[in-house]
Structure 1
Amino acid sequence: MLDTLPLTWIPEEDEALRTEVRRFLDETLKDIPDDVRARSWLGFDAAFSRKLADRGWLGLSLPRHYGGAEKGAFARYVISEELLGAGAPVSAHWIADRQSGPLILKYGTEQQKSYYLPRICRAEAFFCIGMSEPGSGSDLASIRTRAVHNDKGWLLNGSKIWTTNAPRSHFMIALVRTSGEPADRYKGLSQVIVDLTLPGVDIRPIRDLSGDAHFSEVFFENVQLSPDALVGEEGDGWAQVNAELAFERSGPERLYSSMVLVESWLRYCRRRGEAGALSSVTLGRIVSSLAVLRALSISLAGQLARGESPAMQATLVKDLGTEIEQAIPRLIGDAVANDPHACRDITLMRTLAYLEQLAPSFSLRGGTREILRGIIARGLGLR
């Protein structure tokens, strides 16, 4: 829907990918109901991820000699937009493709690049992110999980929480303390790659309000990592995390968390005929907000294509996007509540119910709004 609004520019060669991707998704997802597709980037389907890999749609920005397509940020934006807009189950490969691969490419050793990147491109290596910890809240710099250097590599102890897809991932990139104390804040932080099958790793799923168990708490008890588990230089973890979060926050996710619901509601309105004043106003608010957000999001893709790291700008888009993606289920819920016939559309009601339950988490993942606004304030020189 949003790609029909001529408010932004994507290079023609990248825009040309859209037709092929959309045709593939129309065929592949045709029998999947809206309430299932609403899970989209929380929907885990390894077989679907391998189909994307077979078409060369994973690792788009990675060099060809590592199995990638060596395309730019715009190509990945177009494919991501189509996948999320259609409600494709992309969770299996999403973190590896979006941030772990680019992070390893930028900071990893040649051995790490040669091992992990081809597997990411083939959908054979799924990653999760180990940042948040119990008791640390949003204060990421206060983490206590520690990796101690020994004669075998690194000995890991501690725990992580709210880790997406940990039970089904092969690896975790974990932010850990390799020197100093939590009071040292940003100093002494490093990132390590953890094979989640190693002895001493204990993964405990956390079930949310919607009944799903996307999140987990992960415990590490004397987990022995090899010497090459360290990503980049020791003590460089904080800089790496900020670069990684720029990748996370600069994509089209904010636009499309609730897009399946919007499309489902629009189909219902069309079947009903005249949508009514309330529905027309609601649709106008949703589409205008999403169109502006999409323009901002594409501008971030442009910055990435130029080799820039739009950390502050991506944070701003993430903050604005969180507000919009949380508002959509509420706005459509209000419109549906004033329509006595809507309850007959079971798929619409199930889709709405799922996103109403999930929406509170939108302002937590990738950083709370309070943390985001602190980053924005620093970027503007206000603090």
Structure 2
Amino acid sequence: MTLTPIPPEDEALRGPIREFLSDYLAATPIEKRARTWLGYDRDFTRALAAKGWVGLTLPKAWGGGGRSQFARFVLLEELLTAGAPAAAHWTGERQSAPLLLTFGTEAQRQRFVPGICRGEVSFCIGMSEPGSGSDLASVRSRAERTPEGWRLNGSKIWTTFGHRADFMIALVRTSGEAGDRAAGLSQLIVDLNAAGVSRRPIRDLAGDDHFAEIHFEDVLLADDALIGVEGQGWSQVVAELAFERSGPERIYSSTLLVDEWLRYVRARGTVTAAETILAGRLLAQLAVLRNMSLSVTGLLGASESPVVEATVVKDLGTLYEQSIPDLIADHLASESEAPPVTLLRTLDYVAAMAPSFSLRGGTREILRGIIARGLGLR
């Protein structure tokens, strides 16, 4: 990877975005904003879309902004560091719309992409299944052809906001058996309000319901629910995961906690040597990871598929994000006075969520296997 600067015309977006977020989030407490991209607010998504900032990199012909990947990087950086509740459009804008524009039919693009850009249509991704762990290729959910289209049966789990989304892009088996691995897998668009779909939210340690378990029982889908060519679902997913693993959300999940801790340290009026060292360590790591993420953004902008590079950023970024609550908790334990309640609440939330950081987007073991194969080590 090379050091990749943000072009001036894209950096110029930062001011207007920051001003908008400052006004919109003025009354939102820090411990709520610490949820960053897991905060779900359709009103916020529509307000952001009205500014032209949902689907920023998608073609103007489809309702997007027609901007570069660097413009999107600036937008995401500001959303994450402000703690904006972007989950209502996050998956559709980041993954579903680009997937449909690359592999979908003209009718699929017309039906879904403009709605995503307006903040009116939300998507989730159906990959993981009960009992499969991180073995994505062991998909057992099956869609069979019928005279009317497809009949879908099976289950998905750990689906981010699957209980609130309008549609799912589901990886399912359309031929062969689970032992056939990636062969015979396809992706289908599933209307989550269709007959036969049942959704159960999964509550996490922080008391939130970001995830869902979804069951399909004889769900009938039209023939045009298929994305691309039957049997090519695996290659589509591999390309799609580069978008999921490469963004700033893989390095900024704990940023609001760092900001709140630094605010507390500065407010005391004195800064110890240990605090200076810890702050320097956290900010130096962030600077390196940010430059790596920017380099991946440059590759995406050049229409490359940086699967290994994105995976490296995701793995290292997760290690960094997970280290932050432990480091700050250790520091606070050495303090003679109790820290502010807002800081403790933010710490409690991030510490509770940190174990999930190495699950979403692929577990650490899976990621390192991808890296090893990419480097020719296995």
Instruction: Name the TM tier (shorter chain).
Output: over 0.9
In structure 2, relative to structure 1, the CA distance for the partners of 1:342 and 1:256 (3 Å cut) is farther
TM-score (norm 1): 0.97
Q: Does 1:47 align with 2:43?
A: yes
Q: Give 1:252's aligned amino acid.
A: P
**Separation in structure 1 between the aligned mates of residue 270 and residue 228 of structure 2, nearest angstrom:** 59
Q: Give 1:377's aligned amino acid.
A: A
1:115 to 111, 114, 122: 111
**Separation in structure 2 between the aligned mates of residue 249 and residue 35 of structure 1, nearest angstrom:** 25
Q: Give 1:195's aligned amino acid.
A: D
Q: Quote the residue 1:370 is aligned against.
A: 365
**Separation in structure 2 between the aligned mates of residue 55 and residue 294 of structure 1, nearest angstrom:** 26
Secondary structure of 2:57's counterpart equals coil
2:246 to 250, 253, 262: 250
**Separation in structure 2 between the aligned mates of residue 141 and residue 289 of structure 1, nearest angstrom:** 34
**Separation in structure 1 between the aligned mates of residue 121 and residue 154 of structure 2, nearest angstrom:** 24
Flag structure 1 segments of 5+ consecutive residues without an equivalent.
Answer: 1-6
Q: How many residue pairs get matched?
A: 376
**Separation in structure 1 between the aligned mates of residue 333 and residue 171 of structure 2, nearest angstrom:** 45
1:268-287 residue pairs with structure 2 within 5 A? Answer: 268-287=264-283
Q: Quote the residue 2:208 is aligned against.
A: 212
Q: Give 1:369's aligned amino acid.
A: R
1:129 to 108, 125, 128: 125
Q: Quote the residue 1:18 is aligned against.
A: 14
**Separation in structure 1 between the aligned mates of residue 328 and residue 288 of structure 2, nearest angstrom:** 19
Deviations 1:314-373 (A, max 9, x none): 001000001000001111111111113243x01000000000000000010000000000
Query: 1:8: how far off?
Result: 4.8
**Separation in structure 1 between the aligned mates of residue 105 and residue 68 of structure 2, nearest angstrom:** 22
Q: Quote the residue 1:337 is aligned against.
A: 333
Q: Does 1:170 align with 2:170?
A: no
Secondary structure of 1:168's counterpart equals coil
Q: Does 1:313 align with 2:309?
A: yes
Deviations 1:277-306 (A, max 9, x none): 221111111101110000000001100111
Of residues 276-285 and 119-128 in structure 1, the stretch that sits farther from structure 2 once superposed is 276-285
Asked if the contact 2:17–2:75 (Cα under 8 Å) also holds between the matched residues in 1, the reply is yes
TM-score (norm 2): 0.98
Q: Quote the residue 2:345 is aligned against.
A: 350
Q: Give 1:38's aligned amino acid.
A: A
1:50-129 residue pairs with structure 2 within 5 A? Answer: 50-129=46-125
**Separation in structure 2 between the aligned mates of residue 27 and residue 173 of structure 1, nearest angstrom:** 34
Secondary structure of 2:251's counterpart equals helix
Q: Quote the residue 2:190 is aligned against.
A: 194
Asked if the contact 2:4–2:298 (Cα under 8 Å) also holds between the matched residues in 1, the reply is no
Query: 1:166: how far off?
Result: 1.1
Q: Quote the residue 1:3 is aligned against.
A: none
Deviations 1:19-49 (A, max 9, x none): 1001111111111111000011110000000
**Separation in structure 1 between the aligned mates of residue 294 and residue 32 of structure 2, nearest angstrom:** 27
**Separation in structure 1 between the aligned mates of residue 76 and residue 218 of structure 2, nearest angstrom:** 38
**Separation in structure 2 between the aligned mates of residue 27 and residue 184 of structure 1, nearest angstrom:** 53
Flag structure 2 segments of 5+ consecutive residues without an equivalent.
Answer: none
Q: Quote the residue 2:141 is aligned against.
A: 145
**Separation in structure 2 between the aligned mates of residue 112 and residue 231 of structure 1, nearest angstrom:** 8
Query: 1:71: how far off?
Result: 1.0
Quote the sequence identity (%). Answer: 61
Secondary structure of 1:315's counterpart equals helix
Deviations 1:152-178 (A, max 9, x none): 111000000001111110000100000
**Separation in structure 2 between the aligned mates of residue 338 and residue 102 of structure 1, nearest angstrom:** 48
Secondary structure of 1:166's counterpart equals coil
**Separation in structure 2 between the aligned mates of residue 8 and residue 229 of structure 1, nearest angstrom:** 39
**Separation in structure 1 between the aligned mates of residue 336 and residue 16 of structure 2, nearest angstrom:** 40
**Separation in structure 2 between the aligned mates of residue 336 and residue 35 of structure 1, nearest angstrom:** 17
Q: Does 1:297 align with 2:293?
A: yes
Asked if the contact 2:57–2:67 (Cα under 8 Å) also holds between the matched residues in 1, the reply is yes
Deviations 1:231-277 (A, max 9, x none): 11101100110111000011101221001111111111110111212
**Separation in structure 2 between the aligned mates of residue 334 and residue 89 of structure 1, nearest angstrom:** 29
